[in-house]
Structures are given as structure tokens and as C-alpha cells.
Amino acid sequence: MQVLVRHLGNVKFEASTRGHSLLCDQPVENGGSDGGMTPPEVLLAALGTCAGHYAVQYLKSRSLAMEGLEVRVSAEKTLRPARLSSFRIDVTAPGLPPEHEAGLKRAVGACLIHNTLLQAPAIETVLHTEALSPA
């Protein structure tokens, strides 16, 4: 799995993979043009859409209603070091029978992004400083 991130100017970036792309920028008050989500918002979106995917798979496999399914993800910001310190995933599943609540919660908790955040991965940073060759 790989994503290419290109600088578009100022504090705006484009992330692309498999023919898809999204813009990341900063709000005007942070020196950007508000042309896209901030990187922390993209992280929350990744967690929320992953949780939603697992929720849908659970609901589909049991022929339960998916209409109105919503996932809201929030996080608290902490300093020293700057990071997101706690996340909350709120899942709204209208009409979910009570006997499926624990199962849906387990399914959402099995999401790849959720598990990645629970078990901090190794992150390696490699710098490439040679000049780019003309295309």
C-alpha cells in the first residue's frame, strides 16, 4: 500500500493513490487557503470510514438495515509532543436490534485503522536529497 504526496504550494498538498486523490490544506487562520482537510482531519476521516466499512460488513452479513448509518469521529489534541491523544467513535445505527449492539461494537473495533492506532507501528523516515532528473 502506498500514497504519493505532492506539494502544491504554500501549505497545500495532494495525496494520490490508485487514480484517486485528495487535497490537504490548512485553514486560513493557519496560513492556508482552506482548500481541503487538515492532516489530522484526514486521520479522523480514515478512522471513521474504516469503522463505517466494518459496521456495514456486520450489518450486511446479518441482513440488517444500513440506512441512516453514520460514524462521527472526534479527537483531543495534546502538546509535548503535539499529537491527537484520545479518539471517540460515535456510531449511529437507527433501528439496530439490541441483541446486535455488542456485535456491531466488536465489528467497528476490528477496523484496520483502529487496530493500527492501538498498536503504534514503527515509522521510518528516509530523506532523499539528490536533484530530480528532468522528465
pLDDT 10s per residue in the chain (135 long)?
A: 999 999 999 999 999 999 999 999 999 999 999 999 999 999 999 999 999 999 999 999 999 999 999 999 999 999 999 999 999 999 999 999 999 999 999 999 999 999 999 998 999 999 989 877 776
Q: Which single residue is written with the C-alpha cell 486560513?
A: 28
Question: Rounded to whole angstroms, how far apart are CA atoms 60 and 94?
Answer: 14
Question: Rounded to whole angstroms, how far apart are CA atoms 107 and 115?
Answer: 12
Question: Rounded to whole angstroms, how far apart are CA atoms 51 and 107?
Answer: 8
- Single pTM value for the model: 0.90
Q: Which helix (H) or strand (E) holds 125?
A: none
Question: Half-sphere exposure (CA, 13 Å, Cβ side) for 68?
Answer: 7
